[in-house]
Amino acid sequence: MQLPHYQPDRCAALFADKVAQALSTLGLPNAPEPRLFESEPYGFRLRAEFRIWHDGDSLDYVMFPPGNSRSPLKIDTFPIAAPRITEAMPKLKALLNEASELRSKLFQVEFLSTLSGELLITLIYHRPLDETWLDAASGLAADVNCQLIGRSRKQKLVLERHWVEEILDTEGKAFHYRQPEQCFTQPNGGINKKMMGWLLAHTEHREDDLLELYCGIGNFTLPLASRFRRVLATELSKPATVAARQNAEINNVDNVEFARLSAEEMTSAMAGERPYRRLAHLHQPLDQFDLRTLLVDPPRAGLDHATMNLAAGFDRILYISCDPSTHAVNLRTLTTTHTVSELAFFDQFPYTHHLESGVILTRR
């Protein structure tokens, strides 16, 4: 079967319904007319993961209804996935069914693809992996034409590399991103490019500096760096921070400095509450940055109280949210000091209730 909620003919109407609900949730009576960015109705999702269901010597991809781990739904087609994933799924399944050394105690399969056409597959097991598995996996990777990783408890075997390279064209420039397995990346490539374009369209060239929290692998950081004198970008994940630095080097972006700090730690550092050794590598002291613009793309919980207080001191706030309900809570406070100058909605996850919202706030 395919997804029960997959309705490509209603994709635009479902997006409009979500936008109406989000506008009601946000409660911004004086906000400008929102820009709406629709997703492609199919082939948009660059990540996918499936549990594996064994039946004797054969296996299937399955998903489970929310809250029901006892009723697996076999997935024969997955049209919302990117072409490299949908092309690989049947071939991978057939090869796994033919190879007992690859099929035995296989628990889950994860796919990571790119708009540039690369594919990484991770096979997750409930058993240790050995040289026999490596030999069989090498042949599978060649047959499927992908990068391949095997995982089990306290074990990770990488056949060639643990990342894919994405290429995103923004304002006529191609940005190359190394996207490692298990680092967050935007799952809808087309919408990601639209979010980048929207941020750039509303960010003029400035002679001051940008602070970015939750920068990940540098997705928004690198294109926006051209608009500022310097950028200070922070991220808690160590692998993502490493990838962000590599991506800056790959793209010859030399006015960005990355620090491995959480938003809460960066807020503490900005307040002078304590020094952080993870800021010691900066080319200039923190208090010598002219930070007037803040970019945040937080997790669904939104911004904590201390980070909200930090945000209130910036001239401009660029806020990308993946949850309108927590966005609304934050905006009730931020709009006491700032005015919403731009509003946008991005259909990152068609056929679900999830919706990305973007707001640009200017200090009154």
Catalytic positions: 322, 356
**Encoding tokens for residue 237?**
């994940």
Of 186, 112, 194, 188, the closest CA to residue 146 belongs to 112
Helices (H), 55-188: 83-98, 100-103, 131-144
CA dist 260 and 239 (Å) reads 10
CA dist 79 and 45 (Å) reads 9
Main-chain dihedrals φ then ψ at residue 329, nearest 5 degrees: -60, -45
**Encoding tokens for residue 3?**
């997804």
Name residue, tokens 């299937």: 60
> For 337, which DSSP code?
T
Of 221, 213, 255, 204, the closest CA to residue 237 belongs to 213
CA dist 53 and 252 (Å) reads 46
